[in-house]
A and B are shown apart, each in its own frame.
Chain A
Amino acid sequence: MKKTFRIEDLECAHCAAKMEDAIKKLDGVHSASVNFLLQKLTIDAEDEHFDEIVQQAVAICRKIEPDCHVCV
Chain B
Amino acid sequence: MTRKQKKTLRRILVAGGSLVAVAVLTQLLPMPWWGALLLYLLPYALVGWDVLRDAVRGLLNGQMLDENFLMSIATIGAFALGENAEAVFVMLFYQVGELFQSIAVGKSRRSIAALMDIRPDSATVNRGGDWLTVSPEEVAIGEIIRIEAGERVPLDGRVVSGESLVDTAALTGEPVPRRVAAGDSIISGCINQTGVLTVEVTQEYGESTVSKILALVENATERKAKSENIITRFARVYTPIVVIAAVLLAFLPPLFTGSYGAAFPEWLGRALNFLVVSCPCALVISVPLTFFGGIGGASKEGVLMKGGNFLEALAKTETVVMDKTGTLTKGNFEVVSVKPETLTEIELIGLAAAAEQHSHHPVATALRNAKKDRKFRKVTEVFEFSGRGVCATVDGQQVLVGNDKLLNEKGIPFTEAEDIGTVLYVAIGGKYAGCIVIADEIKPDAAAAIGELKALGVKRTVLLTGDRAQTAKRVAQTVGVDEVHAELLPADKVDRVETLLGSTNGTLVFVGDGINDAPVLSRADVGVAMGALGSDAAIEAADIVLMDDKPGKLPLAIRLARRTMRIVRQNIVFSLAVKIGVMLVSTLGFGSLYAAVFADVGVCVIAILNATRALKTK
A35 vs B292: C-alpha distance when bound (angstroms): 11
Tell me the smallest distance from the CB of A24 to a CB of chain B, in Å: 13
A71 adjacent to chain B (CB < 8 Å)? no
Q: Is A37's CB under 8 angstroms from B221's CB?
A: yes
In the complex where A14-B235, A39-B109, A66-B54 touch, is A9 in contact with B292 (Cβ < 8 A)?
Answer: no
In the complex where A17-B232, A37-B109, A37-B288 touch, is A9 in contact with B4 (Cβ < 8 A)?
Answer: yes
Tell me the smallest distance from the CB of A42 to a CB of chain B, in Å: 8
Q: Mark B52-63, 1 if CB is under 8 A from A, else 0.
A: 001001000101
A67 vs B102: C-alpha distance when bound (angstroms): 13
Tell me the smallest distance from the CB of A41 to a CB of chain B, in Å: 12
Residues on A with C-beta less than 8 A from B221 are 33, 35, 37-38
Q: Mark B63-84, 1 if CB is under 8 A from A, else 0.
A: 1001100000000000000000
Interface of B is mostly: helix
CB contact between B281 and one of A13, A35, A37, A38 (< 8 Å): that residue: A13
Segment 87-111 of B: residues with Cβ below 8 Å from A: 98, 101-102, 105, 108-109
In the complex where A36-B285, A37-B221, A66-B57 touch, is A14 in contact with B63 (Cβ < 8 A)?
Answer: no
B284 adjacent to chain A (CB < 8 Å)? yes
A63 adjacent to chain B (CB < 8 Å)? yes
Tell me the smallest distance from the CB of A57 to a CB of chain B, in Å: 15
A12 adjacent to chain B (CB < 8 Å)? yes
In the complex where A11-B102, A11-B105, A14-B281 touch, is A36 in contact with B235 (Cβ < 8 A)?
Answer: no
Residues on A with C-beta less than 8 A from B61 are 63-64
A55 vs B385: C-alpha distance when bound (angstroms): 73
Nearest to A17 among chain B residues (CB) is B232
CB contact between B280 and one of A14, A63, A64 (< 8 Å): that residue: A14
Nearest to B98 among chain A residues (CB) is A11
B218 adjacent to chain A (CB < 8 Å)? yes
B276 adjacent to chain A (CB < 8 Å)? no
B289 adjacent to chain A (CB < 8 Å)? yes
Residues on B with C-beta less than 8 A from A38 are 109, 112, 218, 221
A13 vs B108: C-alpha distance when bound (angstroms): 14
Residues on B with C-beta less than 8 A from A17 are 232, 235-236, 284
Residue of A12, A39, A63 with most chain B CB atoms under a 10 A cut-off: A12
Q: Is A33's CB under 8 angstroms from B105's CB?
A: no
Segment 1-29 of A: residues with Cβ below 8 Å from B: 9, 11-15, 17
In the complex where A9-B4, A37-B288 touch, is A14 in contact with B109 (Cβ < 8 A)?
Answer: no
B511 adjacent to chain A (CB < 8 Å)? no
In the complex where A17-B232, A36-B288, A63-B61 touch, is A12 in contact with B218 (Cβ < 8 A)?
Answer: no
Residues on A with C-beta less than 8 A from B292 are 37
Tell me the smallest distance from the CB of A40 to a CB of chain B, in Å: 8
B521 adjacent to chain A (CB < 8 Å)? no
Q: Is A14's CB under 8 angstroms from B284's CB?
A: yes
A14 vs B66: C-alpha distance when bound (angstroms): 9
Q: Is B232's CB under 8 angstroms from A37's CB?
A: no
**Range of interface residues on chain B?**
20 to 34
Tell me the smallest distance from the CB of A3 to a CB of chain B, in Å: 14
B222 adjacent to chain A (CB < 8 Å)? yes
Segment 289-347 of B: residues with Cβ below 8 Å from A: 289, 292
Q: Is B281's CB under 8 angstroms from A12's CB?
A: yes
Nearest to A63 among chain B residues (CB) is B61
A67 vs B284: C-alpha distance when bound (angstroms): 19
Residues on A with C-beta less than 8 A from B109 are 37-39
B277 adjacent to chain A (CB < 8 Å)? no
B118 adjacent to chain A (CB < 8 Å)? no
Tell me the smallest distance from the CB of B49 to a CB of chain A, in Å: 14
Q: Is B235's CB under 8 angstroms from A37's CB?
A: no
Nearest to B293 among chain A residues (CB) is A37
Segment 33-72 of A: residues with Cβ below 8 Å from B: 33, 35-40, 63-64, 66-67
Residue of B105, B236, B289 with most chain A CB atoms under a 10 A cut-off: B105
B353 adjacent to chain A (CB < 8 Å)? no
A66 vs B56: C-alpha distance when bound (angstroms): 11
Residues on B with C-beta less than 8 A from A9 are 4
A58 vs B124: C-alpha distance when bound (angstroms): 39
Would you list 7 pairs from A and B whose C-beta atoms are within 8 A, ordered by A residue?
Answer: A11-B101, A11-B105, A14-B235, A38-B221, A64-B61, A64-B63, A66-B54
Residues of chain B at the chain A interface (Cβ within 8 Å): 4, 54, 57, 61, 63, 66-67, 98, 101-102, 105, 108-109, 112, 218, 221-222, 232, 235-236, 279-281, 284-285, 288-289, 292
Q: A9-B4, A35-B218, A38-B221 are in contact. List 8 more A-B contacts (CB 8 A).
A: A11-B98, A11-B101, A12-B281, A14-B235, A38-B109, A39-B109, A63-B61, A64-B63
* 7 A-B pairs closest in CB distance: A13-B285, A13-B284, A14-B284, A63-B61, A37-B292, A35-B221, A66-B57
